[in-house]
Structure 1
Amino acid sequence: MVDSEGNGNPETERGLILNSRILWTFSSLYIKDRDERFLSVADRAYSYIEDNFIDTVYGGAVYTVDNTGNWINEIKSIYANSFLIYRLSEYVMATGNRSALEHAKNTFLRLEEHAHDTLYGGYGEIYNRDWSPVTDSSINEIGDAAKTMNTSLHIIEALTNLYRVWQSPVVKDRLQEMIILTLEKIINPETNRLYYFFDHDWKSITNIKSYGHDIECSWLMLEAAEVLGDIELIEKVEKASIAMAESTLEALNKNGSLTNESVDGVNSISLQWWVQAEAVVGFINAWELTKDDVWIDHALSAWKFTEENFVDKEYGEWFWEFGNDGQLNTTAPKISAWKCPYHNSRMSLEVLRRLSRYS
């Protein structure tokens, strides 16, 4: 953990999600700039994951370890393991590391063997270390949900990147399956927003609108379809992407920020850092698809609000959120299990990549 002033605490536990995101961030930065400082951090992150999280007996990776590398939570989270696949694949693209590719492939194969739903499609959520189903509801953070939008979205991320480094027919089939499931089951056809929690056969069981995930999905799903190269699928996803971006405008505030979520019809007034980052990318993506300059205006407004309010000019990095009291939280950790340089770094890289097409 790193506090709000940039001071690290080496005694805290370490999570697979955070360490995987660090691996992706610095691998991506190295791909762009070939700066050895970025490679050094990426190498260190990879070694730490390989030495401390990878389960060499049952495959996949555990959820958390203590500061000495002893396992604390041995569950196999599909959400976290999908992040691992995504980040390992990025590291492979940065370095060509063969062991990282094997870990990515093996983790996918464990998900395929134990978590893929051959009847209804998609993937389950949480398993014990040996991949047996979790029956203790107290460790299941998603309650009664058998499947979630969030895990499904990040599986799409993972398979997209994995297919870039390993053109397996099974990976291709699963990526296509997840895109079609998103179009047909996860997106609400009446509102063009994502359902959140599901039962086994993809019936929605909650009334949650997550505007950050909506705008994030609008560009990630298109990226996935483009990697597959299926023209008909790309055209379907392009239409859905525009509609999803348009649906988020109901949560766009006058100051340019995007509201986090709505639960049972009540909008939260919380504004989180990652939602603003995804809004910038999603709005630029919508502009690329429509060439309507209103989307550039939205992207610029979102960035202006973010740069003026979330970017910490004194200690660096970004603040976490404006809370439900409307006040900016300047004391929350800058780096923790769920806070890291991933969303904001990816936003920066995506904006540079996309706008370079028009320079």
Structure 2
Amino acid sequence: MTADNTARLIEARAWIRDQLDTCTAFWLEHGMDPVNGGVYTCLDRTGAVYSTDKSVWMQGRCAWTFSYLCHLYGTRPEWLEAAKSCLDFLEDHCINHEAGGRLYFTVTAEGAPLRQRRYCFSEGFYCIANAEYYGVTGEEEHLARARRAYQLVYDLNNGLIEDPTGLGPKTIAETRAGRALGDPMIFLNIIGIMRRVDPANAEEYDRHARECTDRIVNEHYRPELGCTLESVNLDGEPELWYTAGRVVNPGHDIECSWFMMDEANYRGDAELHATAEAIFRLAIEAGWDEEFGGLLYFIDAKGLPPEAYEHDMKLWWPHNEIMIASSKAYRDTGDAYYLDWFFRTLDYCKEHFADPEYGEWYGYLRRDGRPTMPPTKGSTFKGPFHVPRALCMTERILTEIIGD
């Protein structure tokens, strides 16, 4: 690594550390609910709450984030308190006990149920939140909760049980059924966290991780198409004659790539790491907007019109995933290609997402990089998760690379 690159990385790390401080402070000041517990995530640019409905995903993600910060940097009372508040809110209000322990998707400020979804991501984020909190505190009940949720997600993802909500698949199964990339990739991330805090069950986690990577590589990763597909049929084959079968989410693929890099490093599997790198390259080269900069939200595998209205928007989280994946790939390979993408993306984030006046990052940009109006810092889907995760992970990775 050249002296110039070392200097740029030191400068980048200083900016990232500052952003991490202001980002966590933003959520602790504006998001936490001192009355009902848990976190509000529908915040405007200044941090004012514009909707009091609460995202169940974000209760789990917030609890994981602040627990993970304790894991990385040492326990701080305000971080642990925030994590515990969200965990308690989840336990007291967000579990549908009449539907086999499935979790809701949204609830009111007080915790009354609003919406149930067929997807089991609420359960997955509940799982990692309890697991990470257990890793910090050693409180066994949180590991037991994480293990129960882990098994529920595994059973649902693999069709071992009927969905107790009774919602069923998104499409009429007799006409069309398929498999989504999100199931094995998110579960692979869950496994990595569970295995770290619960090494006693590493054999089970290792077996399940291989199942996930096999599905991703053998079914969704399609080098002959130059992409990784969001969905395939039940035989693991593409269906390219309708729009949903051609959807490519470059940010999702890039997130998947660093989950796979972590798994490859754990196994010592160079071939899997090379595949993860290929997934990254295909996604960023196809998805990067050469005219305006930034990563497009959706593209079509055949270059046809995407169906989603928001396909050419620039969202915060795909750029967070580029930061993590490119820095990990550069650390592991020393290939300047990844370092170039790291700096290119960081520059875009500095210019378009970061808000030096009020802190945190804008969530939603138009294609030209200007925030949607009025600009927001949080929503049902954006809270204290992707931005702080990217900042703390890249801060640690850059420290490994710099060696100081």
Q: TM-score range by the shorter chain?
A: 0.7 to 0.9
Give 1:165's aligned amino acid.
V
Give 1:21's aligned amino acid.
R
- Picking from 157, 161, 178, the partner of 1:146 is 178
User: Aligned residue for 2:296?
Assistant: 259
User: Aligned residue for 1:339?
Assistant: 382
User: Aligned residue for 2:111?
Assistant: 69
Greater shift in the superposed pair: 81-90 or 36-45:
81-90
- Picking from 90, 93, 100, the partner of 1:52 is 93
Using the alignment, how far apart are the partners of 1:307 and 1:22 within structure 2? 23
Give 2:127's aligned amino acid.
I
User: Aligned residue for 1:157?
Assistant: 189
- Picking from 182, 204, 220, the partner of 1:170 is 204
Using the alignment, how far apart are the partners of 1:280 and 1:27 within structure 2? 21
Give 1:39's aligned amino acid.
L
The Cα shift of 1:332 comes to 4.0
Using the alignment, how far apart are the partners of 2:194 and 2:97 within structure 1? 20
Q: Is the 8 A contact 2:289 2:295 kept in 1?
A: yes
> Structure 1 residues 325 and 283, CA, compared in 2 at 3 Å: closer, same or farther?
closer
Give 1:153's aligned amino acid.
M
2:83 is aligned with 1:42: yes
- Picking from 125, 130, 139, the partner of 1:83 is 125
Q: Is the 8 A contact 2:58 2:380 kept in 1?
A: yes
> Structure 1 residues 214 and 290, CA, compared in 2 at 3 Å: closer, same or farther?
same
Give CA deviations for 1:90-127 in whole Å, capped at 9, x if unaligned.
22222222222111111122234444246xxxxx9xx7
Give 1:28's aligned amino acid.
Y
Q: How does 1:119-134 map to 2 (within 5 A)?
A: 130-132=164-166, 134=168
Using the alignment, how far apart are the partners of 1:224 and 1:132 within structure 2? 34
Using the alignment, how far apart are the partners of 1:70 and 1:200 within structure 2? 37
The Cα shift of 1:136 comes to 7.5
User: Aligned residue for 1:286?
Assistant: 329
Using the alignment, how far apart are the partners of 2:76 and 2:364 within structure 1? 31
The Cα shift of 1:319 comes to 0.8
Q: How many residues align?
A: 343
Give 1:238's aligned amino acid.
H
Give 2:57's aligned amino acid.
I
User: Aligned residue for 1:348?
Assistant: 391
TM-score by length of 2: 0.77
User: Aligned residue for 2:317?
Assistant: 274
- The percentage of aligned residue pairs carrying the same residue is 21
2:228 is aligned with 1:201: no
User: Aligned residue for 1:121?
Assistant: none
The Cα shift of 1:341 comes to 2.4
User: Aligned residue for 1:230?
Assistant: 267
Q: How does 1:92-111 map to 2 (within 5 A)?
A: 92-111=134-153
Q: Unaligned 5+ residue runs, structure 2?
A: 1-41, 240-244
> Structure 1 residues 274 and 52, CA, compared in 2 at 3 Å: closer, same or farther?
same
TM-score by length of 1: 0.86
Q: Is the 8 A contact 1:256 1:304 kept in 2?
A: no
Give 1:15's aligned amino acid.
S
> Structure 1 residues 339 and 112, CA, compared in 2 at 3 Å: closer, same or farther?
closer
Q: Unaligned 5+ residue runs, structure 1?
A: 119-123
Using the alignment, how far apart are the partners of 1:301 and 1:43 within structure 2? 37
> Structure 1 residues 136 and 262, CA, compared in 2 at 3 Å: closer, same or farther?
closer
2:344 is aligned with 1:301: yes
Query: How large is the RMSD of aligned CA atoms in angstroms?
Result: 2.7
